[in-house]
């Protein structure tokens, strides 16, 4: 299969759930607010209620923590394809916006040590003329190497998010070269729920969810086929009193064909069921994060995991990365599965 410009475009569309205007959004740490009260007899003042700006309301320079699913293809290694959610939220990835220069920077590495960071910066000169729908696409080709940053606006499939966004950062070593090395990072970022905020005390489901990502079939060290996961469905519930999340994902794929198109029919893929995780406050300033593992139903996995964050007041929105690798079937094949789930209630 040729990792051509056309195929790269289709993979990007599959990961971002749109092929077809554009809009970019940024976010800063949420603002504080609130007040207290007291009567004739002194009583403890209630904690200030955190207040939040939606992404559309933000102005000026911005810096966002992000969590990413990772995909890598290279003929130099065996297996030549691997996927992971190896970049937990806020640990190794940031998105920065410079208002004066109108530039976006994708940052990966040790966030407290600039010498150990890889930074790709994109500006107005890199804007693509015909981006996918609801996406601002930056593209730069230098000496045959293509770097892209696709910033999806808040329009999801069937609903919109106010505090959460997704992005896709792509690095193709040699455009138009057969089986060129490439790496993709599909990330979630936004205005996180602060540690001082509360989550629903009882188990509360998210009612609108999208699944993004790919499942790649690998046999004897070679990538055999890749499926877009945008037809998949998921469940997610949060229990603030117990400090837990629960979820499941029913994976449905559309194979990315050799000519770069998506198959007209869908393919049922293994189910990721009974995922459970714990909620914790972490970071500076502290925000509400969660992580856990899947207890799989339709797949006997070697390893699986997910990690994410809540966004907006009382965790109104949530986003997480997930990863699973199946054991070999009778034909010696496995699935490398990774992606992002976006949710709102």
Distance CA 8, CA 5 (A): 5
Strand ranges (DSSP E) for 91-243?
93-98, 103-109, 117-122, 135-142, 145-152, 164-172, 182-190, 204-205, 208-219, 222-228, 233-239
- Rounded to 5 degrees, what are φ and ψ at 14? -65, -40
Contacts of 60 (CB under 8 A, 6+ apart): 28, 99
**What is the model's pLDDT at position 39?**
40
Which pair of structure tokens corresponds to residue 240? Answer: 């603030």
| 34 is a domain residue | no
The CB-side HSE value for 13 (13 A sphere, CA atoms) comes to 19
**What is the model's pLDDT at position 218?**
85
**Along the 345 residues of the chain, how does pLDDT read in single tens digits?**
333 444 454 456 556 655 543 333 333 333 333 333 334 444 444 567 899 999 999 999 999 999 998 887 876 665 556 666 556 687 789 999 999 999 999 998 877 788 888 999 999 999 999 998 999 999 999 888 999 999 999 999 999 999 999 999 999 888 777 677 888 899 999 999 999 999 999 999 999 999 999 888 888 878 888 899 989 999 999 999 999 999 988 889 999 887 778 899 998 887 777 788 999 999 888 999 999 888 765 555 556 788 999 999 999 999 999 888 777 777 888 888 889 999 999
Q: Which of 317, 339, 84 is nearest to 211 (CA)?
A: 339
Q: Is 57 helix (H, G, I), strand (E, B) or coil?
A: helix
| 37 is a domain residue | no
CA angle 61/320/69 to nearest 5° reads 85
**What is the model's pLDDT at position 304?**
76
pTM to 2 decimal places: 0.84
Query: How many domains would you assign to the chain?
Result: 1
- The parent domain of residue 267 ranges over 5-29+49-344
| 330 is a domain residue | yes
| 40 is a domain residue | no
**What is the model's pLDDT at position 26?**
38
| 43 is a domain residue | no
Contact by Cβ (8 Å): 276, 262: no
**What is the model's pLDDT at position 76?**
64
| 234 is a domain residue | yes
Q: Which of 232, 234, 228, 233 is nearest to 264 (CA)?
A: 228
| 42 is a domain residue | no
**What is the model's pLDDT at position 73?**
80
| 184 is a domain residue | yes
Contact by Cβ (8 Å): 230, 190: no
Distance CA 204, CA 228 (A): 29
Contacts of 262 (CB under 8 A, 6+ apart): 10, 14, 228, 254, 255, 256
Contact by Cβ (8 Å): 14, 214: yes
Distance CA 218, CA 52 (A): 44
- Rounded to 5 degrees, what are φ and ψ at 28? -115, 170
């Amino acid at each position: 299969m040729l990792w051509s410009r056309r195929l790269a475009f289709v993979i990007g569309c599959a990961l971002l759930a749109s092929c077809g205007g554009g809009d970019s959004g940024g976010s800063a740490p949420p603002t504080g607010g609130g007040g207290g009260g007291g009567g004739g007899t002194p009583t403890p003042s209630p904690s200030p209620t955190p207040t939040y700006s939606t992404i559309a309301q933000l102005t000026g320079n911005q810096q966002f923590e992000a969590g990413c699913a990772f995909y890598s293809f290279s003929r130099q290694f065996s297996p030549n394809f691997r996927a992971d959610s190896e970049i937990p939220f806020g640990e190794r990835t940031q998105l920065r916006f410079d208002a004066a220069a109108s530039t976006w920077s994708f940052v990966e590495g040790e966030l407290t040590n600039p010498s150990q960071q890889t930074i790709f910066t994109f500006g107005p000169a890199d804007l693509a003329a015909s981006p996918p729908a609801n996406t601002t696409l930056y593209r730069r080709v230098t000496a045959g190497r293509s770097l892209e940053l696709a910033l999806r606006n808040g329009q999801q499939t069937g609903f919109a998010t106010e505090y959460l966004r997704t992005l896709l950062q792509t690095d193709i070593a040699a455009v138009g070269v057969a089986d060129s090395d490439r790496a993709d990072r599909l990330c979630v970022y936004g205005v996180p729920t602060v540690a001082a905020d509360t989550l629903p005390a009882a188990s509360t489901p998210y009612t609108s969810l999208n699944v993004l990502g790919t499942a790649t079939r690998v046999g004897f060290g070679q990538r055999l086929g890749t499926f877009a996961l945008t037809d998949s469905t998921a469940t997610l519930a949060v229990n603030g009193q117990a400090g837990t999340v629960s979820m499941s994902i029913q994976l449905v794929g559309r194979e990315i064909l050799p000519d770069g198109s998506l198959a007209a029919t869908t393919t049922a893929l293994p189910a990721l069921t009974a995922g459970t995780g714990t909620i914790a406050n972490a970071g500076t300033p502290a925000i509400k994060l969660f992580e856990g593992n899947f207890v799989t139903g339709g797949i006997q996995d070697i390893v699986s995991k997910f990690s994410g964050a809540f966004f907006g007041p009382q965790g109104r929105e949530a986003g997480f990365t997930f990863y699973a690798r199946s054991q070999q079937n009778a034909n010696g094949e496995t699935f490398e599965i990774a992606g992002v789930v976006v949710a709102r209630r």
